[in-house]
Amino acid sequence: MKKLNELTIVEARRGLQEKRFTITELTKACLEQIKKTDCKIKAFVTVCEKEALKTAVKYDQVLGKNLKIYEKKPLFGIPLAIKDNFCTKGIKTTASSNVLNNFVPPYNATVVQKLLEAGVIIIGKTNMDAWAHGSSTETSDFFTTRNPHDLTRSPGGSSGGSAAAVAAHQVTAAIGSETAGSIRQPAAWCGIVGLKPTYGRVSRFGLIAMASSTDSPGTLTKTIEDAAIILSVLAGKDPKDATSNPTPGKNYHQEITRPIKKITLGVPQEYFLPKMDKQVTAVVKKAIKELKSSGFKIKKISLIDPKYAIAVYTIIMRAEVSSNLGRYDGLRFGFSRKAFGQEARRRIMMGSHVLSAGYFDQYYLHAQKVRALILKDFKKAFKEVDAIVAPTSPSVALKIGAAAKDPLFGEMQDVLVEASAMAGLPGISLNCGWVNNLPVGLQIFAPQFQETLILKIAHQYEKNRA
C-alpha cells in the first residue's frame, strides 16, 4: 500500500472524502518525508511547517462538515510546493538569489492566490537556478538540488527543486515555471510529469520575470490527471497580466476522460540529434512505437533544425533578462546589485550587448525575425499533424558539475524544447522509460491553446503503459 506522501492528487482527494485519513495526516506525511530526505536532496529553500500544519488542522474541521467542498475547491487539503520565484504573501521569496534573500512579498502571485482559493496547503518554496537562469539548479546562490534517482546527478532545472520534491514524494505536486525547458527538462530527468501551458494561458503576475515573452507557469505532478486538475485551477485571463489570454480555461480533468478522435502525431527527424545519447533515442523510439500500436497515426515530419532555436533563445531571453533584472536596485526591496551571481551577470551583459546600439539589428531584431519563421514552420507542420512527439532532453540526468564547464549549458540542454517555447506552444513531458535506472522523458506539444489535446494523448499513453 502507498504511503500518504506517495499519493497522487486524485488518490489523496478520494482518501480524504472517504475519511480514510485526514488532511493533517497527509500534510504530516509530506513534512516527515522532507525531514527524512531533504538533507540529501535539498529541494526546499523554505519549509512552512508550522503554517502548513495549522492550516491542515483548520481544513480538517471544514472538511468534516462539508464533504462536497471539492466541487468548489478542487485542491482542498492537498500539500503543494511552489517554486521560489512565485511571490507568496508573508513567505520569503528569493528566486534562489542572494539579491532577494531578505524579500518577503506583501502580495501573492495570481497563481498562488488561485491555488490558495482552491484549498492547497503550501508546504514550502523550492530551490531553482537563481532567477531561473539554468537547467540544473547549480546556479542557485544557496545550494544544488540532487536528483532523487541518483544523488550524484542533477535534477535538471530551473524548476529542479519542484521536480525533485515531487519525485521524492516530499509533496503531492508542485508548481514550476518555464521560459524554455525549465518545467519539461527537470520533469524528464526526475521521471515525473511536467506541463508547460501555452504562453498566456496562466497569469505571470507575481512570477519573478525572466524572459517576459515566453515565461509560463506550469505544473510538476505524478500523473497527467493531476496536471489537468491543477491547470483547470490556474488557467484563465488575469486583469493583472495584460499578456494573459482571454480564451477561457476549461475543466481539463473532465476533458481528458472524453474519447479521443483519430490523431496524427508528427515525429520531427531533426529532434533526434546525431550526438544524442543512443540509449535515450532507443527508448523514445520505442515509446513512439507504443503510441502507434495504441491507435495513433505516426508521421515523419521535418522542422527547422533546433540548433537555430538555441541561438534565437539565447539572444531574446538574455535581452529580456537584462531588462527585467534592471529593476533590482536594493532600495525598495532586496539587496544591491553587488549580490548578483555570475550567471545573472553574464546574462545581463550578454543581453545588454545584443540590444546595444550597432548590434540591435544584427542580433535582437534578426532573432525576432527567425522566431517568426519558427512560428510559421510549426504552423505548416500542424497542417499535416495534430501534435508532435519527440525526446524532451538529449540525455538522462547529467552528473553535478557538468553545467560549470559551459556558459551556454542551459541553452544546450534545452535544445529540444526551445523552439516550441519560443513559439508559445503548450507542451508536456512524461516518463517513457529508463536508461541505467535513470528516467527518460517523452515530450508532446501542439498548437497554442491545445492543452486538452496534449493531456489526452499523454493520458492515453500513461493508461496503456500502466
The residues annotated as belonging to the active site are: 83, 158, 182
Going by C-alpha positions, the residue among 420, 396, 390 that lies closest to residue 284 is 390
Count Cβ atoms below 10 Å from residue 299 Cβ, excluding itself: 14
Smallest distance from other proteins to CB 317, Å: 11
CB 297 within 8 A of CB 264: yes
The correct pick among 200, 217, 218, 410 for binding other proteins (CB under 8 A) is 200
Nearer to other proteins, 286 or 346 (CB): 346
CB 89 within 8 A of CB 117: no
Cell output for 165: 520534491
Smallest distance from other proteins to CB 309, Å: 10
The correct pick among 248, 331, 436, 437 for binding other proteins (CB under 8 A) is 331
CB 347 within 8 A of CB 211: no
Binding mask 251-290 for other proteins (x = CB under 8 A): ----------------------------------------
- Grid cell 532567477 — which residue? 131
390 binds other proteins per the rule CB under 8 A:
no
416 binds other proteins per the rule CB under 8 A:
no
Q: Of residues 201-230, which lie at the interface with other proteins (CB under 8 A)?
A: 213-214
Q: Which stretch binds other proteins (CB under 8 A): 3-11, 258-266, 281-289, 319-327?
A: 319-327
Q: Of residues 96-115, which lie at the interface with other proteins (CB under 8 A)?
A: 102-104, 106-107
Smallest distance from other proteins to CB 424, Å: 4
* Rounded Cα gap, residues 128 and 114, in angstroms: 22
The correct pick among 54, 250, 286, 346 for binding other proteins (CB under 8 A) is 346
CA distances from 386 to 86, 296, 361, 448 (A): 33, 10, 35, 12
Helix (H, G, I), strand (E, B) or coil at 46: strand
CA–chain centroid gap for 392, Å, is 12
250 binds other proteins per the rule CB under 8 A:
no
One-character DSSP codes across 134-167: -SSSTT-SS----BTTBTTB---SSTHHHHHHHH
The correct pick among 26, 230, 315, 440 for binding other proteins (CB under 8 A) is 315
Smallest distance from other proteins to CB 366, Å: 6
Question: Does a cis peptide bond (omega within 30 degrees of 0) precede residue 244?
Answer: no
Nearer to other proteins, 191 or 268 (CB): 268
455 binds other proteins per the rule CB under 8 A:
no
- Grid cell 527543486 — which residue? 161
DSSP 197: P
Nearer to other proteins, 76 or 205 (CB): 205
Q: Of residues 394-413, which lie at the interface with other proteins (CB under 8 A)?
A: 407-408
Smallest distance from other proteins to CB 281, Å: 24
What does residue 381 show for φ and ψ, rounded to 5 degrees? -60, -40
* Rounded Cα gap, residues 228 and 251, in angstroms: 8
The correct pick among 68, 262, 338, 383 for binding other proteins (CB under 8 A) is 338
One-character DSSP codes across 330-387: SSSSS--GGG--HHHHHHHHHHHHHHSTTTTIIIIIHHHHHHHHHHHHHHHHHHH-SE
Kindly state the number of chain residues that form the binding site for other proteins, as judged by CB under 8 A: 61
* Rounded Cα gap, residues 145 and 45, in angstroms: 10
88 binds other proteins per the rule CB under 8 A:
no
Q: Which stretch binds other proteins (CB under 8 A): 38-46, 126-134, 150-158, 338-346?
A: 338-346
The neighbouring-strand residues paired with 438 are 435
The neighbouring-strand residues paired with 192 are none
146 binds other proteins per the rule CB under 8 A:
no
Nearer to other proteins, 259 or 358 (CB): 358
422 binds other proteins per the rule CB under 8 A:
yes
Q: Which stretch binds other proteins (CB under 8 A): 128-136, 181-189, 263-271, 359-367?
A: 359-367
- Grid cell 539572444 — which residue? 315
What DSSP element (H or E) covers 287? helix 278-293
Q: Which stretch binds other proteins (CB under 8 A): 7-15, 281-289, 351-359, 388-396?
A: 351-359
The correct pick among 50, 332, 383, 405 for binding other proteins (CB under 8 A) is 332
List, as own/partner pairs, every contact residues 355-362 make where C-beta atoms lie below 8 angstroms and the sequence separation is at least 24, other chains included. 355/319, 355/322, 355/323
CB 453 within 8 A of CB 428: no
Helix (H, G, I), strand (E, B) or coil at 289: helix
Smallest distance from other proteins to CB 332, Å: 6
Q: Using CB under 8 A as the criterion, which residues of the chain lie in contact with other proteins when the complex forms?
A: 102-104, 106-107, 198-200, 213-214, 239, 242-243, 245, 307-308, 310-312, 314-315, 322, 325-326, 329-335, 337-338, 340, 342, 345-346, 348-350, 352-354, 356, 363, 365-373, 375, 407-408, 422-424, 448
